[in-house]
Structure formats: C-alpha cells, structure tokens
Amino acid sequence: MKKQVQKKETAFKTKEDEQILVVHRKKLFEKKYIQGIEKVDFDFYQNLIQKNQEFLWRSKIETDPQYKQIIPYIVFNYQDKFFLMQRKSGSSEGRLKDKYSLGIGGHIRKCDIVGKKLFDWAKREFYEEVDYSSSFQIQPLGLLNDDSDSVGKVHIGFVFLLKGDSDKIKIKDEHQSGQLLTLNECEKFYSKMENWSKFVFDFLKANF
C-alpha cells in the first residue's frame, strides 16, 4: 500500500504540475478592475500580492478563473527593435502553441520570491527563457489583464520593458525562434500573436 501511494504522488508532481503563486481574483480587483494593459502603482500590487498570496497546484487552477496566476512579462528592447519569439508546437502552455510573443515570462514558485520584489522575479524569468549576458535597464510598463479567453482568465501579467545595450540575445528551449524587429516589422505577425502580445504591441505603438 505504501509503494502505491508513493507512485501516485510521483506521477502527480510532474515538471509542469508545480505549486505556483496565485491571488484570488476578488482581492486583485478589489480596488479597480482592469481589462487590457494599464499603468499602475507596482508597489501597491506588490503589497497586495504579499498579503494575499497562495501557492496552489497548477493542474488545479489552469481552468479556475477564481484565481489569477501571477506572471512577470518582460519585453526586450534594443535601440528601435523588440525581441519577437515564436513558441514551440509542443509548448508547456498548449493553448499558446506556435503563437508569437513579445513577452518573456513565466509562473512564480515560492522559492522564487523569498526576500524579492517584482523586478527580481521579472529578471529571474528573463534569464530562464533567454540567453543574454550584457547589461540592461528595466522599468515597469503596466498591469495586463485579459478576460476574453481561457488563458487570460487565469493569468495576470506585470509587464516590464528591459532595455538592453546589446543585440546578443537568443532563445532557450520554450521557443522555436526569436528575432529583433522594429514595431513595423512586428506588425506583420500581429494576427498570429498571443493576446497578451497584441495588447503590448498596441501599447508600445501608442507610447514609443
């Protein structure tokens, strides 16, 4: 009996099925509801997350819109170009396979946030997803929420602009391609972008 229980636990705790940071929807939008991308006080949301954070199994909440999974979402910029990536057909987030993305990001585990802030979580996610060894400046762009589809309903993004001083950036395993393009060049891929990247693209187009 003991061996059977152990096998069940091992099968459940796969690489994709981990405990990740979430906040209840009601707590996140208690002050104001946001649809799209909007400039906000990141310190306010940092404190809100720290007071209301929970760590739940990803498999339990991927289809539960009562909770929002916290995602740092980094847009890499070098001079007048932005790093546009295409996800693999076998992406860990199956609903986004083959889509184009302007954002580099991922889920947050408990070990990722001890003594750290949103800026630190964002940088950690950046280095997990891409190879980049030069210096940079990072600044917040806004809070991103999209309740129009099944992916957006269970995620919320803290969007950062990372300005690099080099074009030496490469993708890692999660994506099949990545290239630096001007906004005009990125626009050619707009119809194939994930929804979050469409919001980011529109924001960048209006503000840069």
Instruction: Quote the DSSP letter at residue 33.
Output: -
Q: How far out from the chain centre does Cα 206 lie?
A: 21
User: In this predicted structure, what is the pLDDT of residue 12?
Assistant: 36
Return the percentage of the chain with pLDDT > 70, whole number. Answer: 85
Q: In 3-state terms, what secondary structure has residue 51?
A: helix
The residues near 85 (Cβ < 8 Å, ≥ 6 apart) are 100, 101, 102, 104, 171, 175, 177, 178
For the stretch 116-148, pLDDT in tens is: 688 888 888 899 889 999 999 999 999 999 999
Q: 179-184: list long-range contacts, CB under 8 Å, 24+ apart.
A: 179/83, 179/84, 180/78, 180/81, 180/82, 180/83, 180/84, 181/81, 181/82, 181/84, 182/80, 182/81, 182/82, 183/82, 183/208
User: In this predicted structure, what is the pLDDT of residue 36?
Assistant: 97
User: In this predicted structure, what is the pLDDT of residue 95?
Assistant: 58
How many whole angstroms separate alpha carbon 27 and alpha carbon 67?
A: 9
User: What is the average per-residue pLDDT within 172-201?
Assistant: 92
User: In this predicted structure, what is the pLDDT of residue 187?
Assistant: 97
Q: How far out from the chain centre does Cα 125 lie?
A: 8
Structure tokens at 40: 């906000």
The residues near 33 (Cβ < 8 Å, ≥ 6 apart) are none
- Would you state the CATH architecture of domain 17-207? Alpha-Beta Complex (3.90)
Does the reported pTM lie above 0.95?
no
Structure tokens at 163: 């300005």
pLDDT at 92 over 60: no
User: In this predicted structure, what is the pLDDT of residue 93?
Assistant: 52
- Based on the number of CB atoms within 10 Å of its own CB, is 18 exposed (0-12), middle (13-18) or buried (19 or more)? middle
User: In this predicted structure, what is the pLDDT of residue 98?
Assistant: 79
User: In this predicted structure, what is the pLDDT of residue 202?
Assistant: 98
